[in-house]
């Protein structure tokens, strides 16, 4: 018999753990229907120290602390290595797995192996279209096409017509969807520009060159907060008055919105992408509940601009935005 369920404490203001692993003490540990303590693995494609994924990790770790669940968070940008981390979690017989799928094809076998082993999977961030197909019980994230559409509509409302969409990870399907959505919202195709997130100095130079070679570019839409900062500098270096907009937040983007060098950011509230899947997996383990009815649980998009940036800045300083 399962012992009584604990109330779910969704308190975002609770102190964040800095450790990659979390869990309450033994007396407070949450258990599944079989009475055993729960342990979940989170495997993402983010890089350690990335401002975006640090917030995802904060959410997952805090959920584990709040619910008394052991949460092991690991990340690797290489799809093959990410698959190996998923397989390792399966071999450890965890009670649930959270995985981001920037490259769904590369992760399909590992995710399906987890499902075949009877381990529930919740996908996050990327791969929403493949989530149900691979057997996941739910997906948490933003619809990237819808988010891109919103960004394109905002740029169109600002009078922009020639937009450079900067892609920082080759093969990331979500980034392609953002640019496609931006084209729809803008009413004309954006121009994509490939840069390497691991070499921001080179990315800045590439954006500068693009702006210098085509002075008609009147907006740059970056898909990553770190790239946004160098794009703002690139516009200055190129003598361009192009509007700079971005996806996702970090301290540089917040400061840029505050000083006017960045117009707005599309915020997908990634803290929820870490926190909510842990809640979903606990509900499934204890009561076979699912959330979303086969559709993604959307965490965005929202717009952060001069109207609300000061309030968001306070939350970002605590690691939850």
pLDDT digits (tens, 9 = 90+) for 211-256: 999 999 999 999 999 999 999 999 999 999 999 999 999 999 999 9
Q: What is the pTM of this model?
A: 0.82
- The answer on pLDDT for 10 being more than 70 is no
Q: Evaluate if residue 166 carries a pLDDT over 80.
A: yes
Looking at residue 6, what is its pLDDT? 35
Residue 199: pLDDT over 70? yes
pLDDT at 69 over 50: yes
Nearest alpha-carbon partner for 44 in 94, 92, 89? 89
The per-residue pLDDT for 23 is: 57
Q: Residue 51: pLDDT above 90? A: no
pLDDT value of position 46: 87
| Domains of the chain, each with CATH number or no CATH | 21-142+269-302 (3.40.50.2300), 144-267 (3.40.50.2300)
Query: What integer is the mean pLDDT of 27-41?
Result: 84
Per the prediction, the chain carries an average pLDDT of 91
Average the pLDDT over 40-58 and give the result. 92
| pLDDT confidence tier of residue 22, bands split at 50, 70 and 90 | low
The whole-number pLDDT of residue 215 equals: 97
How does residue 17 score in pLDDT terms, banded at 50, 70 and 90?
Answer: very low
pLDDT tens digits along 93-117: 999 999 999 999 999 999 999 999 9
- Position 58 pLDDT exceeds 50: yes
């Amino acid at each position: 018999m399962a012992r009584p369920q604990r109330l779910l404490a969704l308190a975002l203001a609770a102190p964040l753990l800095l450790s990659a692993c979390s869990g309450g003490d033994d007396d407070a540990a949450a258990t599944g229907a079989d009475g055993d303590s729960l342990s979940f693995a989170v495997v993402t494609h983010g890089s350690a120290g990335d401002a975006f994924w640090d917030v995802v990790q904060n959410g997952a770790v805090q959920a584990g602390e709040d619910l008394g669940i052991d949460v092991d968070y690991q990340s690797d940008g290489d799809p093959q290595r990410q698959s190996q981390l998923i397989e390792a979690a399966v071999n450890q017989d965890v009670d649930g797995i959270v995985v981001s799928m920037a490259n769904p094809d590369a992760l399909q076998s590992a995710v399906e192996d987890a499902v075949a082993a009877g381990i529930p999977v919740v996908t996050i961030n990327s791969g929403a279209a493949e989530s149900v197909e691979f057997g996941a019980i739910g997906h948490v994230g933003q619809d990237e096409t819808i988010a891109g559409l919103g960004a394109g509509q905002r740029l169109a409302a600002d009078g922009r017509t020639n937009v450079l969409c900067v892609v920082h990870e080759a093969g990331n399907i979500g980034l392609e969807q953002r640019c496609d959505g931006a084209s729809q919202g803008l009413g004309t195709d954006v121009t994509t520009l490939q840069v390497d997130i691991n070499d921001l100095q080179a990315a800045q130079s590439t954006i500068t060159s693009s702006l210098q070679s085509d002075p008609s570019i009147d907006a740059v839409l970056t898909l990553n907060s770190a790239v946004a900062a160098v794009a703002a500098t690139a516009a200055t270096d190129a003598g361009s008055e192009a509007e700079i907009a971005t996806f996702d937040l970090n301290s540089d983007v917040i400061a840029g919105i505050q000083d006017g060098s960045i117009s707005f950011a599309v915020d997908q509230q990634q803290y929820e992408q870490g926190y909510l899947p842990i809640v979903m997996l606990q509900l499934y383990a204890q009561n076979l509940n699912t959330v979303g009815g086969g559709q993604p649980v959307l965490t965005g998009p929202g717009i952060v601009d001069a109207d609300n940036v000061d309030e968001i800045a306070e939350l970002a300083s605590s690691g939850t935005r």
